[in-house]
Amino acid sequence: MFSRILITGGAGFIGSHLSDELLARGYKVRVIDSLLPQVHGASQQRPEYLCDDVELIVGDVRDEELMAKALDGVDAVFHLAAAVGVGQSMYQIANYSDANCLGTATLVELLAKRSVAKLVVASSMSVYGEGLYRSSSGEIHQGVERKLDQLKRREWEVCGQDGERLQPIPTPESKTPSVASVYALSKYYQERLCLATGPAYGIPTIALRFFNVYGARQALSNPYTGVMAIFSSRILNDRAPLVNEDGQQHRDFIYVKDVALACRLALESEDSSGCVFNVGTGTCCTIEKLARDLARYLDHEDLEPEITGRYRIGDIRHCFADISRARGILGFRPRYSLEAGLTEMLDWLAEQTAEDLAHAASHELMKRGLSG
């Protein structure tokens, strides 16, 4: 059904693994990527990990002329291109809004003139804000958020109006979004714009809400990327992982190869147009446990996590995925447990060097009043 696939942001962490998945299934793959220095380093060279069979176009998705060239002869599009980072998005507001929103608008406006057979857009679990919660009486709570004065008191857990501590439960796609950062808002815009305009022009469109993705090829020197990469960078530099709040936040960590699998299944699915799918494992882990496990896997058990007791504006307490919809419609079943994913990631990590910029990023947020 499909011959040539375009992946925007395709030279990055997730995009390169998706390229591998698609090439293995016989698809031709073209990617467009701006090779941002924050992600790819100052040289901005073609990444060594990007398969030679991938056609790379270097440029920005906001460049209409270049995007038209990238779309030539393409049957389907994965839209992964985005500026990524909750904390940084709260002070680079114009940059994140322009890159993520205008970039998506440029793409869909071009698709309105040259239809493709499928559009899959990468969304994020960040659009939920806090995940779903349940009280001791069984009542489901959504839309509950922690206020700034609560964070300043170091009262970390989400509570109901009566002060009862609520218990986190798996978050389904039906939960009403509640964006807590500029990044989350821009990802929700990307998702909604694609789902609104794609069908209007006869393009089957799917949104995938990625949870916490980890694995080889992450940008370890980018202090605004995923917590797994940030912790890895600290440990590789013989420094203790910095854990915000009390470390008991719950997240759903999914190995990047499972994300690539979910993307391919979405591409090949015939019954999912207009749908939104969570892409996670359906299991959760605390941030403190993750830090300890990663240090142990990297033979640095002596590096006890540093529980900072600090907060960041835009961070949420608990969120992990209900993947029933992806399992039932796409046939998606994650193949990697956290332990299996970390084990496979170790060989890559052992060969990496990383510049630890976690303290600098934390200082930047504190200076701007976005952390405390």
Helix (H, G, I), strand (E, B) or coil at 32: strand
79 bridge partner residues: 8, 121
User: Can you tell me the distance from the alpha carbon of 164 to that of 59, in angstroms, rounded to the nearest whole number?
Assistant: 51
The two three-digit tokens of residue 215, written as one number: 């694995």
Can 183 be counted among the known catalytic residues? yes
Three-state secondary structure along 355-368? CCCHHHHHHHHHHC
Question: Cα–Cα distance between 196 and 45 in angstroms, integer?
Answer: 36
Tokens of 185: 């808002």
Cβ(44)–Cβ(83) below 8 Å: no
Q: Is 263 left (phi over 0), alpha (psi -120 to 50) or beta?
A: alpha
Phi and psi of 256, rounded to 5°? -60, -30
Q: Cβ(36)–Cβ(82) under 8 Å? A: no
Instruction: Tell me the Ramachandran region of residue 217: left when phi exceeds 0, alpha when psi lies from -120 to 50, beta otherwise.
Output: left
3-state secondary structure of 268: helix
Q: Report the distance separating Cα 366 and Cα 372, nearest Å.
A: 6
Active-site residue among 96, 128, 133, 183? 183
Helices (H) and strands (E) in the chain, counts: 14, 17
Tell me how far apart the alpha carbons of residues 292 and 222 are, in angstroms, rounded to a whole number. Answer: 21
Phi, psi of 242 (to 5 degrees): -95, 120
Place of tokens 């002329």: 65
**Distance from the Cα of residue 109 to its chain's centroid:** 24
Phi and psi angles of residue 108, each rounded to the nearest 5 degrees, phi first: -70, -30
CA angle, corner 342, sides to 336 and 343, nearest 5? 90
Residues taking part in catalysis: 183
